[in-house]
Amino acid sequence: MSFNIAGSSTSDLSLSTVKELNTPEKLNRFLKGRLENIDTHINTLTAQEVDGVAFLEITQEYLTKNLEIPLGPAKKILKLINEIKEEYSTAGIGSLISGIAGLKLQDKKIWVRYNYEYVSLPESVLKIMRVSDVNDLKRTIKAQLNISGNVTIHRGSETLEDSKLVTELHNTEDNAYDIIVTENDDESSSSDEKEEDAKQIEPNRIEEAFQVKYQGTTLETFCSRLKLFHDEWYQQIKPYAPYLTIIQSSGSGKTRLVGELRTKGIYILYICKRHESSSGYPASTPYVQKILETIRDYKFGALLSIAIKEIKNKNWSAEEFWNIQIKDDHKAECNDFWRSVFKSLLQQKKPSSDSRDENFVKKLVHKASIVCCIDEAHELFAKATKAKDDETYFVKWRRQIRDISWVGFFNILLSTSGKIGNFLPPVTQDTRSARSHDFVIFPAYLDVNTMDVLAPLAENVGKEYDYTRVVYLGIPLWGSLAQAGVSLINLVHLASQKIRNFSKKNNDYLANLACMACSLSLEVSPRIAEVDSLIASHMATALGVSLDRTSILCTYPSDPILASGALKGIIDVGWENCLDTLLELFSRGVVEEGERGELVNRILFSKAYADAVRECFPDSPVTYLQKVPLKLFLKSLLREEIDGLDELLNRMGIDEAEIGFNHWTSLLATNQKYVESGGMKFLTENLVIEAYHRHTAFKMPLGFPVIDHIIPFKYNAGYGIISIQNKNSKKTTFGAKDISSLIHPSYSFGKWKKGYKILGIYIDLGLDREKAVESKAELKSRNVPQTRSKNKNNEDKEDVKNDYDQIIYIQGVGSFKCCSKEISERLSKILFTRPWPLDTQWSEFDEKTDLKREDVIKTFLPLVFEQKQSLVDKWQLI
């Protein structure tokens, strides 16, 4: 490939240049850079070992009769040959005036490598384009290759200086410079915190993180599912296509899960296409574009059989072959492997019969099996050619793998794309061929069992809260990177960038929605278009797919590091901007209509915690994982101090308690019928302890009679909770019974717990009334009759009130210190915006059964599952 000048398709067509193409492969790249839509016929020339010299001698008869190339493509090839020869002849005497030195100068080139393609830049072209130094060269490369990011040019580990002259850079194709592209950063990074660029953390550390010992039972579950699907396909109970799709967000361990199959004796042929600027790991597969071309040219089956034979010839074990493909120090060996595969493919004169031999795999690897894994599989949805009516790579790939009948072979697609219909097209939208063959597709594998799987790796276990160990909760990415030496502050910074998809824009509504959904436990309708993007680009977890394969359910499970990043993301762009986003999305059914008042509470309490952290740790990097004094938290929450509050906290023995949470977790995820039939109605003491140590608060389930939210705290003798009830009715309904229900343990735990500390808060926003309510915060007491008793001298003792019959009563949004005028206005709109009803086709989920569908149900997403061993046991919290 070489550069075009002013849109010309015949740049660098000198006779000497073409003759320098001394291998069929070099000619192949040259021709594909100039002739469109005839790649198959160019490959025919390559198969005949035609190089640059031989190419110039080709005739029409040779093309059409000997090679049986149709007349149209043959005419294109002959026209190019004539243009090359004319370019040489028209140079005439004028080209010789400068003598031999001039000819040598014309031959000088700069070779660069971009996305595994080699590009030549002749000195004559660079002169015309007035390229004198590396800075000019980078600008030219960006324009010619249509690169939007920042370009750097590397020679090995050396970065070429902008001032270096291009006359000093002439090289050969074998010594081509590497083009590295990074995304533009329009805003300068913060100088307050010394944070690594998050995009550089993964490439530097994640290979080491990949070596962390695999944890949990996910692999066994996945292996059994894979075997089940393989057997169903092989037995042809139904006409299946032999592939399984794993759709999940970044960092959930998809690639690692597939890679672990090697420990079961399964060879993984790993294919991945990433953009040059991608920080993902493993890196892009060498020659990946050529691999896609084999799909386009219906040679993918031949490619697979040659690759399997090459594995056999090298006598690699499953472990060795996996390491060769993913480890950086095996890059040269991986390149050699694929180069050898393509060399054999080009030499193949006629189609192979291997794909029809069902024992092909077993003959070569005996008792082992082989999985072909395509990572970043959404890249398959590109059109295979520029023709408008052409099919995607995916459609062509799926058609080809159905013709492969090998026992012990299966395909796996990995993707973050939430557009489930791409991989698993709804029957009514699938290809005509699929419909005519009664096509059956295996269901997607949505593995959420990797959540918290690294919790046993935390070394600092014990009763005391330690915010550094929460890196082992949530998705495996954080714990793996921590094991590889990435600091906590950099993990939080990475999380804040990944959940916002590296966007710093205040009005990026998807980034804002992701942060709010993660922090505030928003329920996102599976029918809105944003679901796809939340999974693909904003770290949401996929939970289930509808039976008709038209929609996907997602959520943000309890993940303290991701939640820290989300809260940081909200604060960085401003609460006001995020609330504006929420208001815009309300009309599309993002939030359940009946819980808008509760959402306002979660916003206010979350902001109060964030404000308290900044006040408590003014000189420390803010991770939003710190605990703060309960007194300081209440001070940040309320505009005015409450008379008698300190005395109440003292009498309860919680005046030195600590509190902290950076996200809200739905305690129960199911519909109301499940709650009524005996589902998880109540808290447990262990659940409170776990919530405290995973830095979360609870959003209570539908069907809970009184309490809307629970916030755990810890004091010197144990744990307690703040129980919160929210009201926003047209007329106040507060009464003595509300005091009892908020502080009585049986309302939270389902049974009496003597001495359990519960601080009740009743909130009456009063925004739904004709006349604005007075803003105030005070203690309310139960109306208990005073009792009198006698001392030993038969004298009356003073009346004594029950210490536990008092709660905090907050009236009016103006009572909240954390609520500015701008935020208050937006919160009022949240309460009175009429949302579009949520879609009726929700998913029902409990901790005992798989995802099911019903016609009309309302649900709350399950974020707390029944655990075989709770975090309380794993971390010795009691």
711-734 per-position pLDDT tens digit: 999 999 999 999 998 887 666 777
The answer to whether 244 and 470 are in contact (CB under 8 A) is: no
pLDDT confidence of residue 615: 92
Q: Choose between 225 and 605: higher pLDDT.
A: 605
448 vs 862: CA distance, rounded Å? 11
| Cβ atoms of 673 and 732 closer than 8 Å | no
Contacts of 15 (CB under 8 A, 6+ apart): 56, 84, 85, 87, 88
* Per-residue model confidence (pLDDT) at position 595: 66
Element (H, E) at 454: none
**What's the pLDDT score for residue 148?**
67
* Distance (Å, whole) CA 844 – CA 858: 8
Backbone angles phi, psi at 165, to 5 degrees: -75, 145
Query: Looking at residue 193, what is its pLDDT?
Result: 37
718: closest CA among 656, 632, 633? 656
Structure tokens of 102?
Answer: 């001039």
Residue-level pLDDT at 711 = 96
Among 293, 306, 300, CA closest to 398 = 300
Instruction: Detail the DSSP E strand segments found in 696-836.
Output: 696-699, 709-715, 718-727, 757-764, 776-781, 806-811
Q: Which pLDDT value is given to residue 758? A: 93
In this predicted structure, the answer to whether residue 191 has a pLDDT above a threshold of 60 is no
Taking each helix axis as running N to C, give the angle between helix 560-573 and helix 596-616, from 0 to 180 degrees, rounded to the nearest 10. 90
H-assigned helices in 92-215? 99-107, 123-128, 134-144, 198-209
Q: Could you report the per-residue pLDDT of 59-108, keeping only the tens digit for each?
A: 887 888 778 888 888 888 888 887 776 654 444 433 333 333 333 334 57
Alpha carbons 866 and 878: distance in angstroms, whole number = 19
pLDDT of residue 106: 45
Q: How confident is the model at residue 259 (pLDDT cuts 50, 70, 90)?
A: very high
Q: When comparing pLDDT for 335 and 279, which is higher?
A: 335
* CB 646 within 8 Å of CB 218: no
Tokens 């798989």 belong to 850
| pLDDT in the model for residue 512 | 92
**pLDDT computed for residue 769 by the predictor:** 55
State the pLDDT at residue 447: 66
Q: Which segment of 234-238, 341-345, 384-388 scores lowest on mean pLDDT? A: 384-388
Please give the pLDDT value at position 850: 38
Cβ density class 257-270: b for 16+ within 10 Å, e for less: bbbbbbeeebbbbb
**Taking all residues of the chain, what is their mean pLDDT, rounded to a whole number?**
77
pLDDT digits (tens, 9 = 90+) for 804-827: 578 999 988 888 887 777 777 667
Distance CA 587, CA 842 (A): 18
Least confident of 124-138, 227-241, 337-351, 832-846: 832-846
Give the per-residue pLDDT at 294. Answer: 93
Q: Please tell me the distance from the alpha carbon of residue 789 to that of residue 810, in angstroms, as a whole number.
A: 34
pLDDT at position 157 is 54
* Rounded mean pLDDT, 401-423: 83
Cα–Cα distance, 440 to 424 (Å, whole number):
10
Residue 431's pLDDT is 54
Return the structure tokens found at 54: 């031989």
- The residues near 345 (Cβ < 8 Å, ≥ 6 apart) are 294, 299, 302, 303, 306
Span 367-392, average pLDDT:
82
In whole angstroms, give the CA distance from residue 250 to residue 539: 6
pLDDT tens figures, 663-704: 998 765 434 444 455 444 567 888 889 899 999 998 886 656
Q: What sign does the CA torsion over 572, 575, 581, 582 have?
A: positive
Most confident of 120-134, 244-258, 300-314, 412-426: 300-314
Mean pLDDT across the stretch 110-128?
Answer: 75
Mean pLDDT along residues 444-448? 70
Give pLDDT tens digits for 292-308: 999 999 999 999 999 99
Q: 213: pLDDT confidence band, cut at 50, 70 and 90?
A: confident
The mean pLDDT of 368-395, rounded to a whole number, is 83
Query: Binning pLDDT at 50, 70 and 90, where does residue 768 land?
Result: low
* pLDDT band of 324, cuts 50, 70, 90: very high
What are the Cα distances from residue 263, in Å, to 215, 219, 259, 816, 844? 13, 10, 8, 56, 35
For residue 200, count other CB atoms closer than 10 A to its CB.
Answer: 13
pLDDT digits (tens, 9 = 90+) for 780-790: 887 554 444 44
pLDDT of residue 233: 85
- Can you give the pLDDT at residue 190? 39
Distance CA 44, CA 22 (A): 17
Report which of 822, 862, 156 is spatially closest to residue 554, judged by C-alpha positions: 862
Please name which of 864, 878, 876, 877 lies closest in space to residue 452, comparing C-alpha atoms: 864
For the question of whether the overall pTM of this predicted structure is more than 0.95, the answer is no
SS3 229: helix
Tell me what pLDDT residue 189 has. Answer: 38
Categorize the per-residue pLDDT at 527 as very low, low, confident or very high, splitting at 50, 70 and 90.
low
Q: What's residue 670's pLDDT? A: 39
H or E stretch covering 366: none
pLDDT: which is higher, 842 or 593: 593
Q: β-strands 552-555, 541-545: how paired?
A: antiparallel
**Per-residue confidence (pLDDT) for residue 846, from 0 to 100:** 35
- Cα separation, 69 vs 44, in Å, equals 9
**Max mean pLDDT range (167-176, 177-186, 638-647, 682-691):** 638-647
Contact at 8 Å (CB) between 835 and 583?
no
pLDDT value of position 746:
81
With bands split at pLDDT 50, 70 and 90, how would you rate the model's confidence at 755? Answer: confident
pLDDT, tens only, 831-872: 554 443 333 333 333 333 333 333 222 233 333 334 456 777
pLDDT value for 426 = 56
The pLDDT, as a whole number, for residue 15 is: 62
Determine the average pLDDT of the residues in 405-420. Answer: 84
User: How much is the pLDDT for 845?
Assistant: 33
Domains defined for the chain, CATH in brackets: 1-105 (1.10.150.50), 219-436 (3.40.50), 460-521+556-786+802-874 (no CATH)
- The pLDDT of residue 445: 77
**Confidence at residue 681, expressed as pLDDT on a 0 to 100 scale:** 54
Angle, helices 488-499/509-520, rounded to nearest 10 degrees: 120
What percentage of the chain has pLDDT greater than the value 90? Answer: 25
The answer to whether 112 touches 177, Cβ cutoff 8 Å, is: yes
Helix, strand, coil % over all residues of the chain, rounded to 5: 45, 15, 40
Residue 609's pLDDT is what?
96
Q: Which two tokens stand for residue 142?
A: 């960006």
Beta bridge partners of 711: 722
Measured CA to CA, the distance from residue 856 to residue 794 in angstroms comes to 68
pLDDT digits (tens, 9 = 90+) for 622-644: 899 999 999 999 999 999 999 99
State how beta strands 709-715 and 158-159 pair: unpaired
pLDDT attached to residue 844: 34
pLDDT, tens digit, for every residue of 12-53? 556 667 777 878 888 888 888 788 778 888 888 888 888 888
Nearest residue to 688 (alpha-carbon basis) of 648, 659, 650: 659
Model confidence at 592, in pLDDT bands (50, 70, 90)?
A: low
Task: Name the more confident of 365 and 42.
Answer: 42
DSSP 8-state secondary structure symbol assigned to residue 680: S
User: In this predicted structure, what is the pLDDT of residue 774?
Assistant: 82
- The arithmetic mean of pLDDT across residues 352-359, rounded, is 83
Which stretches of 177-317 are DSSP H helices? Answer: 198-209, 218-235, 254-259, 288-296, 300-314
Residue predicted with more confidence, 118 or 567 = 567
Residue type, position 622, single letter:
V
CA distance 625 to 565: 10
Q: Which residue has the tokens 């390229």?
A: 131
Q: What percent of the chain has pLDDT over 70?
A: 74
The first and second tokens of residue 699, run together, are: 């959003």
Judge contact between 586 and 510, C-beta under 8 A: no
Q: How many helices (H) and strands (E) does the chain have?
A: 35, 22
